[in-house]
Amino acid sequence: MADATFPAQLQYTVEHEWLDGSDPAVVGITSTAAEALGDIVYLELPAVGDDITAGTVIGEIESTKSVSELYSPVTGTVVAVNDAAVDDPSLVNSDPFGEGWLLKVDVSEVGPVLTAEEYQAQVGA
């Protein structure tokens, strides 16, 4: 991951989630998180209509070796879930910032976030 680069237009959390600035906001996990897990085989995500709170656990991401909890970077209401990624979690490994997105959220409040540069510094990439 020494040459990892993180899309500059996204915001990041210390728990390795990203969100974009659109409305509704798209949420996913970073390439660093996906890489650390290994091949992802199972996603458990909140349902459309669920109210979620920034900083709380809203799902789980499993590989054969590990399991990670997904923390919500925002407070708001889930308006879409990436069913394609639920069906084929390898999308999160192959394209974590694109096809492997997880949720779309109608945001009422954004939690603590980092810029791409700050996140990059944190993960030491």
Partner 1 sequence: MTTSVETPDDAATTEPRHTPLHDEHVALGATLTEFGGWLMPLRYASDLAEHRAVRSAAGLFDLSHMGEIRLRGPEAGTALDVALVGWLSQVQPGRARYSMITNEFGEVIDDLVVYRLADDDFMVVANASNAPVVARELVSRAAPFDVEVTDESEATALIAVQGPLAEQIVTGLAAGDADKVRALRYYASVPATVAGVEALVARTGYTGEDGFELFVPADHAVALWRSLLGTGAEDGLVPAGLSARDSLRLEAGMPLYGHELDLTTTPYDAGLGRVVRLDKTTDDGAVLDFVGRAALASRRASEPARVLVGLGAAGRRAAREGDHVVVRGHVPQIVVGTVTSGAPSPTLGHAIAMAYVTPEVSAVGSELAVDVRGREEPMEVVELPFYRRPEKA
> Per-residue x/- mask for partner 1, residues 74 to 113, rule CB under 8 A?
----------------x--x--------------------
Q: Is 58 in the site for partner 1 (CB under 8 A)?
A: no
Longest Cα separation, the chain: 39
Task: Name the segment binding partner 1 (CB under 8 A); options: 3-11, 19-27, 28-36, 109-117.
Answer: 28-36
Per the CB < 8 A criterion, the answer to whether 106 and 72 are in contact is no
Cβ distance to partner 1 smaller for residue 33 or 113 = 33
Of positions 4, 41, 79, 125, contacts partner 1 by CB under 8 A = 41
Q: Could you tell me the CA-to-CA distances from 54 to 2, 40, 58, 73 in Å, in that order?
A: 29, 24, 9, 5
Q: Is 118 in the site for partner 1 (CB under 8 A)?
A: no
Q: Is 50 exposed, middle or buried (0-12, 13-18, 19+ CB in 10 A)?
A: middle
Per the CB < 8 A criterion, the answer to whether 67 and 94 are in contact is no
Give the integer Cα–Cα distance in Å for 113 and 15. Answer: 10
Rounded to a whole number of angstroms, the minimum distance from the CB of residue 108 to partner 1 is 22
Point out which residues bind partner 1 (CB under 8 A): 15-17, 29, 33, 35-39, 41-42, 44, 60-71, 90, 93
